[in-house]
Structure 1
Amino acid sequence: MKRVLDYILGTVVFVILAVIVASVTWQVVSRYLLGTPSTSTSEIARLLFMWLALLGGAYTFGQARHLAIDLLPQTLKGVSRRFLNTIILLTIASFAYFVMVRGGWAMVSRTLMSGQITPSLRMPMGYVYGAIPASGVLVIAYCVIFLGRVWLNPAMQGGFSLVTSEEQESATNDTGTAPESQERVH
């Protein structure tokens, strides 16, 4: 499940970034080489950047590359570590739900009802703000996956890993130890 979500989200983020690069490149070419700047390319880049930032943030959370202070989780083991990681993940999921999903959806709805549109593309601004609840749903999905790993993988001593237990077993080398590149998240 996580691999599929990672692949889809990573692909979407890559495509958005590619479209932004193409848009900005065309803006520069049309302005400086052709002498007639494109009016919509800078707006496309700005609007897609919002989607890139929020979806990229959700993807980063799913890869456990986000900023975290993990001093306390590293000192705990077993059930106490499970409970701490559960509290942390539930706090993140609560924020994602109440602020990003509910609050973001309310903003999207109000903006769509008001009829606010972008200046150049004439696109409803609610579509742009849709990045907020969409990324909130993705963060919640990752929290559910990580909660499952905290409680269903006793070998992790109450922590969770980006690598499943089957992948860990196949990744162990001849000496029976896991490779150093394997990441653990607390």
Structure 2
Amino acid sequence: MVLRLVITIAFAVLVACVVWQVVSRYVLQSPSTVTDEMARFLFIWVALLGGAYTFGQRRHLAIDLLPVITTGILRLLVNIGIIAAIALFAGVVMVYGGLDLVSRTLETQQVSPALRLPMGLVYIAIPFSGLCILYYCLTFLADLFRTGRGPNEQEGTASVGGPLD
């Protein structure tokens, strides 16, 4: 719920920045560099947090051939493998790699041209989204063992007879 609220507010500010950018460029004949840069950074945050939120809502794009054609213990193992692969990517690439990127940009004191914002604050969206995805992986794993519902399955679509047929 909190993640959805943050994304909604960021998206509303993003839209306002883009509208102001168009007005300032074409009506006032004086483009705003601040809103241009702010819109870029907000887009990064909205895209990464939106991806994590969508994953958590089980509405992400998925190729679910293996979970659909398997049953019983094999389906459980396939779903565990899917969750593990997603968690591995989120943990290694997004959290570990993202924190490395953030620390390097903070060390070099790289700032954005118009807002003079430390770029590490922009890039922290990567490890933060990775942590959200890891959290959802843990909840999906618990849900898989509790109800048999895999990460690609909506409420009420678990395999017939539970995960351990």
TM-score by length of 1: 0.79
Counterpart residue number, 2:150: 159
Sequence identity of aligned pairs in percent? 52
For 2:66 and 2:98, how far apart are their aligned partners in 1? 32
- 1:22 equivalent in alignment to 2:16: yes
Amino acid at match of 1:62: G
Residues 83 and 137 in structure 2, CA contact (< 8 A), matched pair in contact too: yes
Counterpart residue number, 1:115: 109
Residues 123-146 of structure 1 deviation map (CA, whole Å, 9 limit, x = unaligned): 000001001000000000110010
Correspondence for 2:34 among 22, 34, 40: 40
Gaps of 5+ in 2: 160-165
Residues 140 and 150 in structure 2, CA contact (< 8 A), matched pair in contact too: no
Q: 1:152 to 1:184 in 2, by over 3 A?
A: closer
Correspondence for 1:102 among 83, 96, 100: 96
Gaps of 5+ in 1: 1-6, 169-182
For 1:117 and 1:162, how far apart are their aligned partners in 2? 43
Counterpart residue number, 2:123: 129
For 1:19 and 1:125, how far apart are their aligned partners in 2? 19
- Give the CA RMSD over aligned residues: 1.8
Correspondence for 2:57 among 37, 60, 63: 63
Number of residues paired by the alignment?
Answer: 158
Displaced runs of 4+ in structure 1, greater than 4 A? none
- 1:138 equivalent in alignment to 2:129: no
